[in-house]
Amino acid sequence: MTILVTGATGRVGSRFVPRLLRQGESVRVLVRDPVRADFLGALGAEVVVGDLRDTGALDGVLKGADAVVHLGAAFRGVSDEEAVAVNHAATVGLAVSTLRAGVARFVYASTTLVYGPGRGRSALEADELVPPGRAYPTSKADAEKALLGLHRAEGLPLRIARLAFVYGDGDPHLAESLLWARDWPLHKRLHLVHHADVAQALLRAVRANGVDGEAFNVADDAPVTALELLNLNGEPVSEGAAGRSLDDPWEGIADTSKIRRELGFRPIHPTVYTAKAAGAL
């Protein structure tokens, strides 16, 4: 199987592709900067230089691919227009090209941020998407809706992986959580998922039969509190943090029953503490 991976030099992709290669998969990566992909080429990936937004070049990139894992995204530090252009418009363009090329699998990495708050329970894949007003979750939710439309109308072989807050393998994301956690009530929780389990989930989504058009929450077994995030990062607790109010204790918490039941997913690192004990932070 030849798997085309977009966003291969990003935080998720740069940790996912080596795991694919170690499992003996044939991997092709689409990158804008070939220098950043040198290490992937050295590991055995086929490196193709191009831009997701150049739809005219995608047919050649997709030729001979059996599956697409679409990790390419615009997140922090970009304009709202850039986020929409990459996360929505370019994603739909890639999906259309995937259909034209006859690729058998299209796995889209989304985010649990698409759910938004207010359910009073953990989020289920069948829930309506009501993302907060920020460009990133909104553009991801809009892309999901467009891709599902292509699945229903034209048979796009779509599988959606909604990722919780990704950490591990030297990713500074866990430390970056302090940008918000410093101001949270100490009992507010954040649902995490380790890079090893993101890779597991994506590969299971690629290989599974009979799940086209389905979405899967990808998260570990134990969301952590703001207090735990502060402790994990060696950060002192601010005075008054314990008394801050919390409107929705379930915001950002995802139910993972479906991916366990349908794809056989079991976290390699079920908690951040098992990852820490394994030296995998």
Q: Are strands 189-190 and 192-194 parallel, antiparallel or unpaired?
A: unpaired
Residue 133 has pLDDT above 90, yes or no: no
Task: Give CA–CA dist 5/43, Å, rounded.
Answer: 15
DSSP 275: H
**CB 168 within 8 Å of CB 199:** no
Residue 77 has pLDDT above 80, yes or no: no
Write down the pLDDT at residue 206: 98
Three-state SS at 264 = coil
Cβ-Cβ contacts under 8 Å for 77 (sequence gap 6 or more): none
| CA-wise closest residue to 11 among 178, 226, 176 | 176
Query: What confidence category does residue 246 fall into, taking pLDDT thresholds of 50, 70 and 90?
Result: very high
Cβ-Cβ contacts under 8 Å for 223 (sequence gap 6 or more): 189, 190, 191, 192, 252, 253
* Domains parsed from the chain with CATH numbers: 2-166+194-219+254-267 (3.40.50.720)
Instruction: List pLDDT tens digits, range 10-64.
Output: 999 999 999 999 999 999 999 999 999 999 999 999 999 999 988 888 989 999 9
